[in-house]
Amino acid sequence: MAAFDRALPEPALIAQASSRGPAATTAGSPLRPDLQLIADLVAPNTRVLDVGCSDGALLAYLASTKNVDARGIELSQEGVKECVSRGLAVVQGDAESDLHLYPDGAFDYVVLSQTIQAMQRPRELLQEMLRIGRHCIVSFTNYAHWRARWHLLRGRMPRSRCAGEAWYSTPNIRPCTLEDFELLCAELNVVIERRLCLATGGMISRLASRRWFDNLLSEQALFVLSQRQGQAARRA
């Protein structure tokens, strides 16, 4: 999902499809741009868990281009069927109840793309992801984007342009802002290794010095997180 309604002139480069909708399905076709950004962050020959992997587009890409040991969890049977029929190691399950099964540091990367806002307990999920992965890659829609603020100023809830669902039916039950997310990271005492702010049109802005400005202009945010050394060591 992405981009609040009231139409950009052209579909934004980023995240045209909803996290629940299909991403690139056929091998060789280009990866959805937000997934491509994530893929570019992943080092070759690593172990990756994609939480809410949908039809497995990212995993298939990583497996074929970066020799990644690609695993996934997906709630929908449609998604899982698609993944397994493509030869991907994907388990049908609920990330919020199943991540605790994985051992500490089981993966090099744990990816949560456009899903955190649909979780019941995002804080606990993030902690589990940090436990089982050396790095966590989290991408989400920033609800403090000026267009969303404009919606609220006009007295309406922001609606995503693509999913376009009303407040009473949207799966996005935990919308957050870029700043909210950073505060959570601080509260959990995690290291923000990278932060990418994606403005309208997919441009990557690097306005890290002014967080309120990023918060206003970023439609999407992408974070790479890891546990602080001491915490990981204590666990080990």
Partner 1 sequence: MTALPSLAPAELDTARLPGERIELSGQPFKLDCGAELASIRVSYRTYGSLNAARSNAILVCHALTGDQYAADSHPVTGKAGWWHLMIGPGKPLDTNRYFVISSNILGGCMGTTGPVEIDPATGRAFGLNFPVITIGDMVRVQARLLDHLGIEQLFCVVGGSMGGMQALEWAARFPERVFSAIPIATAARHSAQNIAFHEVGRQAIMADPDWQQGDYLARGTRPTRGLAVARMAAHVTYLSEAALHRKFGRSLQDRSKVTYGFDADFQVESYLRHQGITFVDRFDANSYLYITRAMDYFDLAGACGGVLARAFQGVPTRFCVLSFSSDWLFPTSESRDLVRALSAVGANVSFCEIATDRGHDAFLLDVPEFHRVFAGFLAGAAAARGLT
DSSP 59: H
Instruction: Examine residue 131 and tell whether it contacts partner 1 (CB under 8 A).
Output: no
User: 112 forms bridges with which residues in the sheet?
Assistant: 51, 138
Taking contact as CB under 8 A, which single stretch among the options 15-23, 100-108, 183-191, 224-232 is the one that binds partner 1? 100-108
For position 51 contacting partner 1 by CB under 8 A, the verdict is: no
Q: Does 92 bind partner 1 (CB under 8 A)?
A: yes
The site for partner 1, by CB under 8 A, has a size of 21
Count the neighbouring beta carbons within 10 Å of the beta carbon of residue 83. 26
157 binds partner 1 per the rule CB under 8 A: no
Coil/strand/helix, residue 227: strand
Please state, in angstroms and rounded to a whole number, the distance separating the CA atoms of residues 145 and 213.
10
To partner 1, the closest distance from the beta carbon of 74 in angstroms equals: 9
Residue 138's CB is within 10 A of a number of other CB atoms, namely 24
Stretch that binds partner 1, among 3-11, 19-27, 95-103, 176-184 (CB under 8 A): 95-103
Q: Does 83 bind partner 1 (CB under 8 A)?
A: yes
Burial string for 170-191 (b: 16+ CB within 10 Å, else e) reads bebeebbbbbbbbeebeeeebe
Is 48 a binder of partner 1 (CB under 8 A)?
no
CB of 65 to partner 1, least distance (A): 15
Tokens standing for residue 6: 């009231």
> Site for partner 1 (CB under 8 A): which residue of 85, 120, 189, 205?
85
Residue 191 structure tokens: 């290291």
* Minimum gap (Å) between residue 170 Cβ and partner 1: 25
Longest alpha-carbon distance in the chain: 51
Alpha-helical (H) ranges within the chain are 33-41, 57-66, 77-85, 95-98, 122-132, 146-153, 178-187, 211-217, 229-235
66 binds partner 1 (CB under 8 A): no
Q: Is-contact 191 226, C-beta < 8 A?
A: yes
When binding is defined by CB under 8 A, the residue of 21, 30, 87, 164 that contacts partner 1 is 87
* Identified binder of partner 1 from the candidate list 17, 31, 37, 80, rule CB under 8 A: 80
Q: Does residue 103 bind partner 1 (CB under 8 A)?
A: yes
Token output for 164:
């376009």
46 contributes a contact to partner 1 by CB under 8 A: no
Q: Does 98 engage in binding with partner 1 (CB under 8 A)? A: yes
Taking the least distance from each CB to partner 1, the nearer of 81 and 147 is 81
**Which residues sit at the interface with partner 1, rule CB under 8 A?**
69, 71, 77, 80-81, 83-93, 98, 101-103, 106
